[in-house]
Amino acid sequence: MAGNSKNEKLIGGILPESKARDLLYKMVLTRTFEENAEEMYALGKVHGTMHLSIGQEAIAAGSSPALKKSDYLLNTHRGHGHFLMWGGDLNRMMAEFMGKEAGYCRGRGGSMHIADVESNNLGAQGIVAGNLPISVGVGLSIQMRKTDQVVLTLFGDGASNEGAFHESLNMAAIWDLPVIYLCENNQYAMSMAFERAFRIEQVSERAAAYGMVGLTIDGNDVIAVYKAVSEAAERARKGNGPTLIEAVTYRWRGHSKSDRQLYRTREEVKEWMEKDPIQRFAKVLGVNEAQMKEIQAQAKEDIRKAVEFAEASPEPDVSTILEGIYA
Amino acid sequence: MAGNSKNEKLIGGILPESKARDLLYKMVLTRTFEENAEEMYALGKVHGTMHLSIGQEAIAAGSSPALKKSDYLLNTHRGHGHFLMWGGDLNRMMAEFMGKEAGYCRGRGGSMHIADVESNNLGAQGIVAGNLPISVGVGLSIQMRKTDQVVLTLFGDGASNEGAFHESLNMAAIWDLPVIYLCENNQYAMSMAFERAFRIEQVSERAAAYGMVGLTIDGNDVIAVYKAVSEAAERARKGNGPTLIEAVTYRWRGHSKSDRQLYRTREEVKEWMEKDPIQRFAKVLGVNEAQMKEIQAQAKEDIRKAVEFAEASPEPDVSTILEGIYA
Amino acid sequence: MEALREGMRQAMQQDERVFVIGEDIGVYGGAFGVTAGLIDEFGPKRIIDTPISEAGIAGAVIGAAITGMRPIGEIQFSDFVVISMEQLVMQGAKMRFMFGGKADVPFVMRLAGGSGTGAAAQHSESLENWFVHVPGLKVVMPSSPYDAKGLLLAAIQDNNPIMFFEHKLLYKTKGPVPEEMYTIPLGQSHVVREGKDLTLIATSIMVSRAQQAAEQLAEEGIEIEIIDPRTLKPLDEKPIVDSVIKTGKALIVHEAVKTGGFGGELAAVIMESEAFAYLDAPVRRLAGLDMPIPYNRNLEYHAVPQVENIVEEARKLVKGQY
Amino acid sequence: MEALREGMRQAMQQDERVFVIGEDIGVYGGAFGVTAGLIDEFGPKRIIDTPISEAGIAGAVIGAAITGMRPIGEIQFSDFVVISMEQLVMQGAKMRFMFGGKADVPFVMRLAGGSGTGAAAQHSESLENWFVHVPGLKVVMPSSPYDAKGLLLAAIQDNNPIMFFEHKLLYKTKGPVPEEMYTIPLGQSHVVREGKDLTLIATSIMVSRAQQAAEQLAEEGIEIEIIDPRTLKPLDEKPIVDSVIKTGKALIVHEAVKTGGFGGELAAVIMESEAFAYLDAPVRRLAGLDMPIPYNRNLEYHAVPQVENIVEEARKLVKGQY
Ligand SMILES: Cc1ncc(C[n+]2csc(CCOP(=O)(O)OP(=O)(O)O)c2C)c(N)n1
Ligand SMILES: Cc1ncc(C[n+]2csc(CCOP(=O)(O)OP(=O)(O)O)c2C)c(N)n1
Ligand SMILES: [Mg+2]
Ligand SMILES: [Mg+2]
């Protein structure tokens, strides 16, 4: 992930160009995955619920790619992008999404619980803020094993009103744990607007309550996210403790499938759609419309193949239903 | 409680002298109660555990007395002083302490759960921070009933690291609830020193995380506490929301009966014993040593009578064991 | 769903101490639409959207209840009650007793539980027996729209803290529901269907599955008596005991995981009653497998009792093949 | 107490992945002194004092376990586990399954439970059956110093998340404990005393009370067989079933509140087994009254089973007077 030895152009003074191009592709892939997910849901090919990150892709693009393969990820319910950026295999991800045996979790977890412990991806989360206390344990374990790993732990604006947020950040702060708390502030927790749930302007103001470094960045700017996460990782690896990063963005789609979006205006959504993080990053990279079309076509093709793979994969056998509960 | 019409001298510019004298008496009474409690425990006359507030009496003296009879109290495990200052009857309190039928809770609650719902004293607490979420509900109820009541909710430094603290303060802040959060920072949570459990200097710094007014005061100064609580109450009654007050003090005794106090030095304890809030307040009131002796004698006599009352009160009858669970 | 909404509406119209508080219950109408429209009638002061703070929600409900209000709380998915446990169990349930019987804590906590929607392990729990095990709490679990409204209104009027478990799959059920206010007293089991061959005690969604099973078995000449306790605590034992005395056999069906579940409680209650002497087969439990709910649709289906499982268990029990 | 401390010490000496984390376990030595002195040997990096943050403690334990450590967590009074429920139940217990069987979460959470110390309603709970009801967790409950050490060491070596319930009153028990490391496999019931007239299944502190009761009854010529499951989940049913087949009668004794408790589970397990055909009396439960634990010493005493209650129940059951 991080690190690049070639004498390559650095985008924004930090991100090697070839890597940046790969990230752009993965942003498009994420969006394509989610658009396809909507279709599959409509067609009844997947069930349950799903949480789409369309409009928020820059945060995923700028965060895990700033870390090392040996680091840890704790993801949220809105985590398809992070899963791909962490290096998740599209086929097995699609298979999990469709509940198939070839999926990362053998079809047991689905979108909300997809994990790949082998690659230190410790899973998405169905419980808002449920991953935050776990970060403490991962951080402690790193400290005790004396490695230079860090934990990237994701959560939303809404999650930061859970008690778990408080206990976790305090513990990480007092013990200087190598945790990067990355808050995706998309301005809503389901229907709850940020202004209704907080009496402060920014989630990052809360860092001070724990004596922690806190900052707010433009969450639609890949480079800004990449920089902030890189710096936080450096701080953590040096033993200087955790960082709270708030990345401000916007969710274009409804919260999940049951959302009629009565709590916000079309205008507001439109305004934010004009700040599309993918278009923006494409511009930074000098990718023109024709090239973009190609990228999109490639993503579609990859998705098509992944669906094909997943559809060919068998359903879990009912006789295996009790597997995987106990070690 | 608050309010005084006579043209009386105001101690510290705010506290009517006769009331101040009554508070001094109750501070002495609290300490005498607790010293007596230790003896009774040693004699096996009470069982379980107990948490003594010796050295912290100024906070109780300055807080409830700044409120009205119609307000609400949510107390902690270290709450004998608050119970008395709220207007608790010594006899029935002693009876509860000794587990007798005449006690406030018919002997079912004991020191950790003593309550008097009739006088809006909503009880002491065995769960650290357990009262904090309840304050939200009491505050909401006041708002909905459109009265000018306020809630005084007490907790320790340790309690402010529980998730419940976080959820409660945020909800009170966003809804402008009439809650006075009074943190008794006695610098230890059991054996956990403040500096080990926090990366900040003061609990009150956390108020900013909720957009709430926060302040730190000398918790051994009755007048300072009285002023801060009066102002917080005024703010709350006007609809201007909650306040976080941190009152800095020190616990002279061990945390509870199992404490060998290996986590602090004798010197530290001694230093703080020289800052005795009772002596200090006596000085402010110009009460001399002889007068103090009288006050102490009176307190002892009252305690003696209360013990007599409690000892004469019957044990709860075993046939009533299942009473009071359901309404 | 409409039955629950109607019940809340009427209770709020009649008694201004009643209010509703939870996540996304206002303009959003609740994750399942149960509170849809209530905010238009009662406004945001009585239909209160909260931050994501389940301990806070429980505290809000308890604090309001002990100071004279009659709150209805909502836990969006019953799974999230894990965050409210301290408040519900250590505070709400015990206050009255700890305070010497001198406090009333009249609240209703509504929780949407159960599997069957593809929501996987953290959104599909059936946790009712935890609360049956907590003295001071009452536990209600309706199985039909009619019961839902009547039990909810009774719960709102009750002076105790009440856990009210709804099943997501039942929100879409249709059934006759009177328009006017009515209550179904808490603590009354309901004989849903009469029969002589087997007593089947089922809760929540398992009641309708049991009814379907009973219809199939009726064609084979097997007559199942179905009893829905409706209130798990306090439990109305008599109709259950009387029925088992009549049939000599009992099958308990619930969705929650079998081990440590309410079925064990029921089995023991039957055994401890006079029905023991009449039992000509062991009381049996058919319940959720001992596993978290899987995402895969097919596995999810097989993780909890379905109509065909009930038919099979009941048939075996009646025929003595266990 | 010394047995538990010794177990932890040896596990930490042998395996540097083992560490202990909880409130006041360092210099203070734990609220009951169980960890006293360990910090001198292992230092504050392996005997970790935490802020008062029970959700955080559970998270610390889970996160460390899933990344290769073998943590031992301590919940100071088992009551406070109400604050850790989300982490333990929704995360620790389910991770392995949700992740397709590909994660190990090897932790032991120690909890001091039970009444009898005058600590009242919020410091005296017996909540083990909540966790028996959670697939993915194992539940251990020792009743003697020997078992405590052997079961704790087995738990530490197990690759699953384990809830280890200790009883405060048992901390002072004396009994033979080998110095060397040894394990008692999880999932093995223990026949504590043999007898032919009644099978008495007891857990935790009730085992020693049952032994005292059995001695008294022996003088009357009544021979009680006592079985201690030791691991409530997974439950080793066979010794229990075999015993009931032999005696024809079973009495279950636990301290936790009866309704919704583990006794129901045991009763149902017995009934569902081949022992049913041999039962010549109903399986009966003697358990805590359905109430919070009262402060008053005398009421507290009567709120849970005591030796004399066990004697009386057992005698009645043997003599057919139920
Ligand atoms: C403990 C808990 N409470 C409530 C929910 C239901 N829920 C799922 S996502 C969500 C909103 C989360 O908001 P935020 O943290 O801002 O993340 P976002 O969805 O905006 O990405 C809610 C309320 C949940 N899953 N877990
Ligand atoms: C939830 C919970 N955790 C732990 C405890 C045990 N305990 C009782 S008091 C206490 C220390 C509390 O510290 P603080 O809040 O500072 O209050 P203080 O005792 O210093 O007055 C602890 C750890 C408890 N009662 N409840
Ligand atoms: Mg959000
Ligand atoms: Mg303190």
Question: Closest residue of C to A317, CA-based?
Answer: C299
Which residue has its alpha carbon closest to ligand 2 atom 8?
Answer: B128
**Index of the ligand 1 atom closest to the CA of residue A159:** 15
Residue (of D304, D250, D252) closest to D278 by Cα position:
D250
Residues on B contacting C at a C-beta cutoff of 8 Å: 72, 103-109, 113, 115, 117-118, 122-123, 126-127, 130, 132-142, 144-145, 163-164, 167-168, 170-171, 174, 323-327
Query: Are the C-beta atoms of B276 and B80 separated by less than 8 Å?
Result: no
B86 is a domain residue: yes
Q: Which residues line ligand 2 (CB under 6 A)?
A: B 51, 77-78, 126-128, 155-159, 184, 186, 188-190, 251, 255; D 23, 52, 54, 76, 80, 83
Q: Which two tokens stand for residue B210?
A: 């909720």
**Among protein residues, the one whose CA lies closest to atom 8 of ligand 1:** A128
The verdict on a CB contact (< 8 Å) between B142 and C67 is yes
Tokens 């904090």 label which residue? Answer: B132
Q: Which atom of ligand 1 is nearest to the CA of A130?
A: 1
pLDDT at residue B1 is higher than 80: no
Give the integer Cα–Cα distance in Å for A295 and A282.
11
Task: Enumerate the β-bridge partners of residue C70.
Answer: C18
CATH number of the domain that residue A158 is part of: 3.40.50.970
pLDDT tens, residue by residue, B27-50? 999 999 999 999 999 999 998 989
Residues in chain D with pLDDT values less than 50: none
Contact B163, B127 (CB under 8 A): no
Token digits for C82? 């894990």
Instruction: Give me A134's structure tokens.
Output: 């776990």
Q: DSSP string spanning A183-228?
A: EEE-SEETTEEHHHH-SSS-GGGGGGGGT-EEEEEETT-HHHHHHH
Q: Are B190 and B158 contacting, i.e. CB atoms less than 8 angstroms apart?
A: yes
Tell the residue nearest (CA) to atom 3 of ligand 1. A128
**Is A174's CB within 8 Å of B198's CB?**
yes
Please answer yes or no on whether C51 and A128 come within 8 Å at the CB atom. Answer: no
Contact (CB<8Å) B321/D303: yes
A160 in B contact zone (CB under 8 Å): no
Q: How close, in Å, is residue D172 to chain A by CA atoms?
A: 32
Q: Which residues sit opposite B198 in a β-bridge?
A: none
pLDDT digits (tens, 9 = 90+) for A173-227: 999 999 999 999 999 999 999 999 999 999 999 999 999 999 999 999 999 999 9
Mean pLDDT to the nearest integer, A276-293: 98
Q: Helices D2-14 and D145-157: crossing angle, nearest 10°?
A: 30
Residue B279 Cα to ligand 4 middle (Å): 22
Kindly list the distances between the CA atom of residue A5 and the CA atoms of A108, C320, D49, in Å, as whole numbers in the listed order: 40, 76, 44
| Residue of chain C nearest D132, judged by CA positions | C260
Residue A157 near ligand 1, beta carbon < 6 Å: yes
**In this structure, what token pair is assigned to residue D175?**
């009994």
Of B123, B137, B170, the CB nearest to C51: B170
Contacts of D285 in chain C (CB under 8 A): 268, 272
The verdict on residue B187 lying in a domain is: yes
Cross-chain Cβ contact D31/B191 below 8 Å: no
| B321 within domain boundaries | no
For residue A5, what pLDDT band results from cuts at 50, 70 and 90?
low
Structural domain for A218, as ranges: 10-314
- Token pair of C46, please? 């009585």
CA distance C78 to C56: 15
Which residue in the block uniquely carries the two structure tokens 């939200």? B136
The domain made up of C2-172 is a member of CATH 3.40.50.970? yes
* Distance (Å, whole) CA D254 – CA D305: 7
Q: Count how many domains chain A has.
A: 1
Q: What are D180-209's pLDDT values in tens digits?
A: 999 999 999 999 999 999 999 999 999 999
Question: Mind telling me how many Å the CA of C185 is from chain B's nearest CA?
Answer: 15
Q: For residue D28, which residues of chain B lie inside 8 Å, CB to CB?
A: 190-191, 259-260, 262-263
Amino acid letter at A104?
A: Y
Q: Which residue has the tokens 């943050």?
A: D53
- Asked whether residue A323 is assigned to any structural domain, the reply reads no
Ligand 1 pocket member A188 (CB < 6 A): yes
3-state secondary structure of C202: strand
**What is the Cα A224 distance to its own chain's centre?**
15
Q: What distance lies between CA C168 and its chain's CA centroid?
A: 11
Separation CA D111–CA D115 (nearest Å):
13
What residues of D are annotated to the active site?
123
CA A186/CA C307 separation, integer angstroms: 43
Report H helices in chain B: 17-42, 57-63, 80-85, 90-97, 131-145, 163-174, 194-197, 222-237, 266-273, 277-284, 289-312
Chains contacting chain D through 3 or more C-beta pairs under 8 A: A, B, C
Tokens of D206: 């009730």
Which tokens belong to A268? 């507001």
The answer, for C53 touching chain B at a CB cutoff of 8 Å, is: yes
| CATH assignment of C190-318, among 3.40.50.920, 3.75.10.10, 3.40.1550.10, 2.40.50.100 | 3.40.50.920
- Identify the pLDDT of residue A6: 63
Query: Hunting for tokens 């408080």 — which residue is that?
Result: A166
Task: Give the model confidence (pLDDT) of A216-258 as tens digits.
Answer: 999 999 999 999 999 999 999 999 999 999 999 999 999 998 8
Is D99 close to A174, i.e. CB distance below 8 A? no
* pLDDT at residue B5, rounded to an integer: 56
- For the CA of B129, the closest atom of ligand 2 is 1
- Pairing between β-strand D198-202 and β-strand A151-156 as defined by DSSP bridges: unpaired
d(C-alpha B49, C-alpha B39), whole Å: 13
CA C269 to chain centre: 19
How many other CB atoms are there within 10 angstroms of residue A297's CB atom?
12
Comparing CB atoms, the residue among D69, D71, D99 nearest residue A109 is D99
pLDDT above 50: residue A1: no
- Is residue B312 packed enough to be buried (19+ CB in 10 Å), middle (13-18) or exposed (0-12)? exposed
Q: How many CB atoms lie within 10 A of CB B195?
A: 11
How far off is chain D from B321, nearest CA to CA, in Å?
6
Q: What is the pLDDT of residue D1?
A: 87
Give pTM, 2 decimals: 0.98
Question: Binning pLDDT at 50, 70 and 90, where does residue B6 land?
Answer: low
Q: Nearest-CA residue of chain C relative to B116?
A: C99
Which of C54, C295, C306 has the highest number of chain A CBs within 10 A, making it the mutation to test binding with A? Answer: C295
Ligand 2: centre distance to CA B128 (Å): 5
Q: Which of B105, B77, B122 is nearest to B313 (CA)?
A: B105
Q: How far is the CA of D258 from the centre of ligand 2 (A)?
A: 30
Least CA distance to C64: which residue of chain B?
B137
Residue A126 CB–ligand 1 contact under 6 Å: yes
> Chain B contact for C62, CB < 8 A?
yes
Position A92: which residue type? R
Whether A113 is covered by a domain: the verdict is yes
Closest ligand, as measured to the CA of B159: 2
Q: Which residue is associated with the tokens 């890949």?
A: A222
Atom of ligand 2 nearest to the CA of D24: 23
Give CA D83 to chain center in angstroms.
19
Chain C nearest-CA distance from B162, in A, is 11
Residue pair B174/B239 in contact by the 8 Å Cβ criterion:
no
Q: Is the pLDDT of residue A72 over 80?
A: yes
Contact with chain A for residue B11, Cβ under 8 A: no
pLDDT of residue C96: 98
Question: C262: which chain D residues are within 8 Å (Cβ-Cβ)?
Answer: 260
pLDDT value of position B253? 96
By most ligand atoms within 8 Å of CB, the mutation choice from B53, B128, B206 for ligand 2 is B128
**Phi and psi dihedrals of C285, rounded to 5?**
-115, 135
Interval B245-298: pLDDT, tens: 999 999 999 999 889 999 999 999 999 999 999 999 999 999 999 999 999 999
Contact D272 C264 (CB under 8 A): no
D15 CB within 8 Å of a chain A CB: no
**C-alpha B87 – ligand 4 centre gap (Å):** 24
pLDDT by residue for chain C (322 residues), tens only, comes to 899 999 999 999 999 999 999 999 999 999 999 999 999 999 999 999 999 999 999 999 999 999 999 999 999 999 999 999 999 999 999 999 999 999 999 999 999 999 999 999 999 999 999 999 999 999 999 999 999 999 999 999 999 999 999 999 999 999 999 999 999 999 999 999 999 999 999 999 999 999 999 999 999 999 999 999 999 999 999 999 999 999 999 999 999 999 999 999 999 999 999 999 999 999 999 999 999 999 999 999 999 999 999 999 999 999 998 7
Residue C13, CB-side half-sphere exposure with 13 Å CA sphere: 10
Catalytic residues of C: 123
Q: Do B208 and A200 touch (CB under 8 A)?
A: yes
Domain definitions of chain C by residue range? 2-172, 190-318
The CA distance from A20 to A85, in Å, is 12
Residue A137 to residue D59, Cβ atoms within 8 A: yes
Cα(B99)–Cα(D119) distance, integer angstroms: 12
pLDDT in tens, A9-31: 999 999 999 999 999 999 999 99
Q: Residue A125 has which token pair?
A: 């989360």
Which residue matches tokens 């429920």? Answer: D85
Contact A189 C51 (CB under 8 A): yes
Using alpha carbons, list the distances in angstroms from residue D288 to A41, C135, C264, D255, D301: 50, 11, 17, 5, 10
Q: Of A124, A121, A192, A128, nearest to A165 (Cα)?
A: A128
B15-16/B10-11 β-pairing: antiparallel
Nearest to B48 by CA among D128, D124, D113, D254: D124
pLDDT band, very low/low/confident/very high, at B2 (cuts 50, 70, 90): very low
Name the neighbours of A, counting chains with at least 3 Cβ pairs within 8 A: B, C, D
Cβ distance A140 to D70 under 8 Å?
no
Testing ligand 1's pocket by substitution, the residue of A182, A190, A191, A246 carrying the most ligand atoms inside 8 A of its CB is A190
